[in-house]
Amino acid sequence: MSEKSLSERRKEALFLQKKNGRLLASEETLASADAFCEDYKRFLDAAKTEREAVKTALKQAEKAGFSAFDPAKSYKPGERYYVNNRGKAVAFVTVGQAPVEEGVCITAAHIDSPRLDLKPNPLYEDLELALFKTHYYGGIKKYQWTAIPLALHGVFAKKDGTVVEVSIGEAEDEPCFVVNDLLPHLAAEQSKRKLGDGIRGEELNVLVGSHPFKDDAGSELVKLQILELLYEKYGVTEADFLSAELECVPAFHARDIGLDRSMIGSYGQDDRVCAYCALRAALEVKNPPKTVITILADKEEVGSDGNTGLNSAFLQHLVEDLAAMQNTTAGRVLRASVCLSADVNAGMDPTFPEVMEKRNAALLNYGAVITKYTGARGKSDTSDASAEYVGAVRKMLDEAGIAWQVGELGKVDIGGGGTVAKYIADLGVDVVDLGVPVLSMHAPFETTAKFDVFMTYRTMCVFGERPPFVR
């Protein structure tokens, strides 16, 4: 056996060690990751929209002892409640041993994903085919949404006050829908368009029918037949589309990827991967030292605006209620609090390495990725986490034996993006982004690594159990 040279020993002591997490992990950890991801895949299939994610999360939370917030009640340490924000966002609270004035631990993930929303007047007939007009939601590469099976999810809110839920296209025996694309034979002109323009917004029309209503005369008989079917199934008329939220999402299910089954492919992993990890941790962390707040937010993909997004007063009001119970103010609580903005980052793709700066890019299987700042250009539009807070998070992760890495969202000046972090930082909270690296982010079928998913879940648990307070 050869002795290590001096430089080797000094390198070991001084260099930052980076290693593939699957190489270092025990068989037991990898088996736990696989088992966790079986549950995660079921969640992905059950929660294809923000509304379905809230519903699924509430069902699990009620089983774990959470009940709806009662403003008349003063909650004691260990007690748990939830605040359901219009069925599209939700917060789970487990009251901690310490007074909230000493700070709370907030984990925030988002449960909305890019998709095709139906327009208010979606249904039309052309060339004896019935179609839906759509308006895309979030940042998509439009050409990716053609010629794949789509399902329709959402609600009609009728004038009588009833809300009818819609979900068509998930089960194998149900029909699905499709945005058709031009055949290559006739696409010579289309092929000259720039990629971003390959399919245009007004070309994202969803095919929904071709069978005409049986009558000798009359026009728009295919459209009529579709309305007949919708009336039969849901009791709705064309006017009910005006007060509906209907979303076309990819109809395929979450699957293992790779001969080694080490990865997961699915729609909506940004950011339901972090949302699921955060939810599981919220259910499992009981009697935490500090109060734990887990938020599953809506509207992140469109800038967090609106009353179900985190650029609203939702979190502030939630903390005001908590503060009132303990005779303090939300300001005092928030200033002392810490947050993980749990969102995905881009993993480095061997096919497209040129957009990443490899020394500061996240790799699959290297664990949860900390993103100190997001934004664009000269760090605009982001909250840059403080060295002190990142230091505390780093200590927490290392002490818990969690594999983690850092990642920037691409090379300087090549693009950028944002998360909910800055809206929570605005409230005076210490915030850093942490989540799972993803390939093909925002595509109809995104890829993550099971090991990274599991490390992110473990992070969320430890965050509640041994929170990283700077002060």
For residue 140, the minimal CB distance to Mn ion (Å) is 10
Alpha helices, H only, 305-348? 314-325, 330-335
Residue with smaller CB distance to Mn ion, 113 or 134: 113
Nearer to Mn ion, 111 or 152 (CB): 111
Rounded least distance, CB 294 to Mn ion, Å: 16
At closest approach, how far in Å is the CB of 429 from Mn ion? 19
Between residues 205 and 269, which has the closer beta carbon with respect to Mn ion? 269
Structure tokens at 399: 């002490």
What radius of gyration do the chain's Cα atoms show?
A: 24
> What's the CA gap between 225 and 228, in Å, rounded?
5
CB of residue 344 to Mn ion, shortest distance in Å = 5
**Tokens, residue 247:** 């979303």
Distance between CA atoms of 115 and 148, rounded to whole angstroms?
13
Asked if 433 is part of the footprint of Mn ion (rule: CB under 5 A), the reply reads no
Q: What is the smallest separation between the CB atom of 110 and Mn ion, expressed in angstroms?
A: 6
Q: Go through 175-203 and write b for each residue having 16 or more CB atoms within 10 A of its CB, e for each that does not.
A: ebbbbebeeeeeeeebeeeeeeebbeeeb
Question: Contact at 8 Å (CB) between 311 and 423?
Answer: yes
Complex with Mn ion: residue 138 or 428, whichever CB lies closer: 138
| Residue 118 to residue 115: CA distance in whole angstroms | 10
CB of 93 closer than 8 Å to CB of 104: no
User: Nearest approach, Cβ of 464 to Mn ion (angstroms)?
Assistant: 21
Cα–Cα distance for residue pair 406/93, rounded to 1 Å: 29
CB of 84 to Mn ion, least distance (A): 22
Question: Whose Cβ is closer to Mn ion: residue 343's or residue 452's?
Answer: 343
Q: Answer whether the bond into residue 271 is a cis peptide, omega within 30°.
A: yes
Residue 80 backbone dihedrals phi, psi, to 5 degrees: -135, 140
Q: Which is nearer to Mn ion, 446 or 465 (CB)?
A: 446
Question: Cβ closer to Mn ion: 51 or 223?
Answer: 51
Nearer to Mn ion, 138 or 289 (CB): 138
**Least CB distance to Mn ion at residue 363 (A):** 19
Whether the CB-CB separation of 43 and 276 falls below 8 Å is answered with yes
What track of x and - describes contact with Mn ion for positions 247 through 286 (by CB under 5 A)?
-----------------------xx---------------
Closest residue to Mn ion in the complex (CB):
271
Token pair of 411 as six digits: 């090379």
Give the footprint of Mn ion on residues 168-207 (CB under 5 A): none
Q: Tell the smallest beta-carbon distance from residue 202 to Mn ion (Å).
A: 23
Residue nearer to Mn ion on the CB measure, 94 or 456: 456
- Order across the sheet with 80-85: list the strands: 67-68, 80-85, 89-94, 292-297, 105-110, 338-342, 430-435, 368-371, 404-406
Size of site (CB under 5 A) for Mn ion: 3
Site for Mn ion in 214-253 (CB under 5 A): none
Helix, strand, coil shares of the chain, percent, nearest 5, are 35, 25, 40
Residues in contact with Mn ion, shown as a per-residue x/- string from 325 to 344 under the rule CB under 5 A: ------------------x-
Q: Report the residue number, 109 or 230, with the smaller CB distance to Mn ion.
A: 109
Judged by beta carbon, residue 271 or residue 298, the one nearer Mn ion is: 271
Q: Taking a C-beta distance cutoff of 8 angstroms, is the pair 405, 370 a contact?
A: yes
Other beta carbons within 10 angstroms of residue 331's beta carbon come to: 14
Distance of alpha carbon 373 from the chain centroid: 18
Query: Which of 111/155 has CB closer to Mn ion?
Result: 111
Q: How far, CA to CA in Å, does 125 sit from each of 42, 201, 232, 239, 435? A: 37, 18, 20, 16, 44
Residues 62-101 that bind Mn ion (CB under 5 A): none
* Burial zone of 42 (CB within 10 Å; 0-12 exposed, 13-18 middle, 19+ buried): middle
Q: Give the shortest CB-28-to-Mn ion separation in angstroms.
A: 31
Shortest separation between residue 271's beta carbon and Mn ion, angstroms: 4
CB of 415 to Mn ion, least distance (A): 13
3-state secondary structure of 237: coil
Residue ranges binding Mn ion (CB under 5 A): 270-271, 343
